[in-house]
């Protein structure tokens, strides 16, 4: 559903003044925004923060959905900007009862801040082992 969409509920209005059958009721939809999602039809888009070590080594992230949160397995070596499709976790489809759109979750790799001396030394070791400078 989108804002401004009109829905007809047949036969649920008031009867006519001359005693005729009940008329129809028309509802106008107003969809409120949700700061967690961007809408693309029945599909939703969101961004999930993944710590650097989980992106490199693999891990799990929790993704918000319209009905709660779901766990998403993050494979090792996941790149920043990778998009995961969570099928059926988007908005309900209007003309197809029971079906939902998808949720597209984009990974944003979060780099560590305020490294300890030991952490900094480990990252320097990793850089040297990887041959980068």
Which pLDDT score is estimated for 130?
A: 87
**Domain limits, CATH 2.60.260.20, in the chain:** 34-130
Could you give the CA distance from residue 35 to residue 71 in angstroms, rounded to a whole number?
Answer: 20
Residue 118: the pLDDT is 97
- The pLDDT value recorded for residue 12 is 87
pLDDT at position 121, please? 96
CB 34 within 8 A of CB 41: no
Condensed to tens digits (0 to 9), the pLDDT of residues 18-71 reads 888 888 999 898 888 889 999 998 999 999 999 999 999 999 999 999 999 999
The predicted-structure confidence for 100-125, as pLDDT tens digits, reads as follows 999 999 999 999 999 999 999 999 99
With a cut of 80, say whether residue 133 has pLDDT above it.
no
The fold of 34-130 is HSP40/DNAj peptide-binding domain (2.60.260)
Predicted pLDDT at 39 = 92
Q: What is the pLDDT of residue 64?
A: 96
Q: 30, 28, 53: which is closest to 109 by C-alpha?
A: 53
């Amino acid at each position: 559903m989108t804002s401004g969409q009109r829905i007809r509920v047949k036969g649920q209005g008031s009867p006519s003044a001359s005693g005729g059958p009940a008329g129809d009721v028309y509802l106008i939809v107003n969809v409120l925004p949700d700061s967690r999602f961007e809408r693309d039809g029945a599909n939703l888009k969101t961004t999930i923060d993944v710590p650097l070590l989980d992106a490199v080594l693999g891990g799990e992230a929790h993704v918000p959905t319209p009905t709660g949160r779901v766990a998403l397995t993050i494979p090792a070596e996941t790149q920043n900007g990778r998009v995961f499709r969570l099928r059926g976790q988007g908005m309900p489809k209007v003309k197809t009862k029971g079906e939902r759109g998808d949720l597209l979750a984009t990974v944003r790799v979060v780099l560590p801040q305020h490294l300890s001396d030991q952490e900094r030394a480990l990252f320097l070791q990793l850089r040297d082992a990887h041959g980068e400078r």
